[in-house]
Amino acid sequence: MDTRVSALPTLDLQTWITRQLERVEHALDLWVSVDACADAPHHAPAALMAAMRYAVLDGGKRLRPLLVLAAFEAVQSGLTEDYLPIEEGVDELARRGVAGSTTANIQPGEAALRAACAVELIHAYSLVHDDMPCMDNDVLRRGKPTVHVQFGQASALLAGDALQALAFELLTPEGSAMQPGQQARLCRLLSRAAGCAGMAGGQAIDLASVGLTLTQDQLQEMHRLKTGALLQASVLMGAACAEATVNALAGLQAFGAAIGLAFQVVDDILDVVADSSTLGKTAGKDADHDKPTYVSLMGLEGARAYAQSLHCQALQALESTGLADTRVLHGLADLVVQRSH
């Protein structure tokens, strides 16, 4: 493996990220649109679509889509020494619309791009519903009024619901563009990560935990569901778009679990040390809401050390995959731990 790694072209992580973000933003812009539904029997109501677009096209970090695409590329790199990075061609993909097309050829990376956007739609819908008055009652998200402030609560509720459905639409294009087995596998991974034994379940535990003292195990279980499940699913969905070996899959699963937790630990640290303008959301919110966090449980230094150890676990798991080129995943793991917002 060492010789193969040394034979790889130099990686500029920031260039990779910039290029993939362009693809993702472009695809989301085209797929979350009235035009994309044009081949469906009915046109999506414009007002609902406006709220959906506002929720999605808001300049988020897009960590989940990047994980999908990086995992896909890493598994591709394991298939052949002369693997090709994902081709562009998003214009052509997007022009086919959400529903896909029976006449289109299979594009390299189409499945991964659809998976990347589907995960982001689930993440976006969860933020819309989380921000609502009956949940966290947040008025600001990434420096903009939240969806319910901008469009009203009823529209926010519906936009979130429709975004969840759209995620599964994106994963099941009509015709030959994606293998049916791949479509089914992606829907399986995403629905489980989003549902009662995943993200929604974690949020329910979170709701029930305000004002309580949790043990580290309980806090861990909450975050494993609330944030971890979808981050881990991102990695596994990327792998599912290529043909990962059992060994690679096991390593990626462990990698996803470790960075999923690390992400949350760092979130808790940032809530304490960063200011609102850097975060783009209200800082110090957890303490104000009397929510249990890794910092309240382990202290600031303890939480920092824990984040470092999860970072190490993630990199070891990556090593164990035996994949030829995991440098982008490595770089994303670094970013998760070192981020300032």
Residues forming the site for its own copies (CB under 8 A)? 37, 40-45, 47-49, 52, 99, 125-126, 129, 132, 134-135, 152-155, 157-158, 160-162, 164-169, 171-174, 179-181, 183-185, 187-188, 190-192, 194-198, 200-201, 203-205, 207-208, 221, 224-225, 229
CB of 213 to its own copies, least distance (A): 18
Task: Identify which of residues 41 and 211 has a Cβ nearer to its own copies in the complex.
Answer: 41
E strand or H helix at 141 = strand 140-141
Query: What is the closest distance, in whole angstroms, from the C-beta atom of residue 131 to its own copies in the complex?
Result: 11
Burial environment of residue 13 by CB neighbours within 10 A (0 to 12, 13 to 18, 19 or more): middle
If the CB atoms of residues 171 and 248 are measured against its own copies, the closer one turns out to be: 171
> What's the min distance (Å) between Cβ of 246 and its own copies?
14
Burial 319-337 (b: 16+ CB within 10 A, else e): eebebbbbbbbbbbbebbb
Helix (H/G/I), strand (E/B), else coil: 293: coil
CA max distance for the chain: 58
Measured from the CB atom, the residue of 114 and 304 that comes closer to its own copies is: 114
Closest approach, Cβ 172 to its own copies, in A, equals 4
Cβ-based nearer residue to its own copies, 187 or 298: 187
According to DSSP, the residues that pair with 141 across neighbouring strands are 144
The answer to whether residues 19 and 111 touch, using CB atoms and an 8 Å cutoff, is no
Continuous segment of H or E residues that includes residue 130: helix 110-131
Q: What is d(CA 219, CA 88) in angstroms, rounded to the nearest whole number?
A: 41
9/181 with CB nearer its own copies: 181
User: Using an 8 Å Cβ cutoff, are 43 and 101 in contact?
Assistant: no
Least distance (Å) between residue 91 CB and its own copies: 22
CB atoms within 10 A of CB 74: 29
Q: Output the smallest distance, CB 322 to its own copies, in A.
A: 23
Residue with tokens 């090593």: 319
What is the smallest separation between the CB atom of 41 and its own copies, expressed in angstroms?
7
| CB contact at 8 A, 13 and 73 | no
Q: Which is nearer to its own copies, 78 or 201 (CB)?
A: 201
Least separation in angstroms between residue 112's CB and its own copies is 17
The residue to which tokens 């760092």 are assigned:
266
Nearer Cβ to its own copies (85/172): 172
Give dist(CA 284, CA 222) in Å, integer: 20
Q: For residues 122 and 164, is the Cβ–Cβ distance under 8 A?
A: yes
Q: In the complex with its own copies, which residue's Cβ is closer, 118 or 332?
A: 118
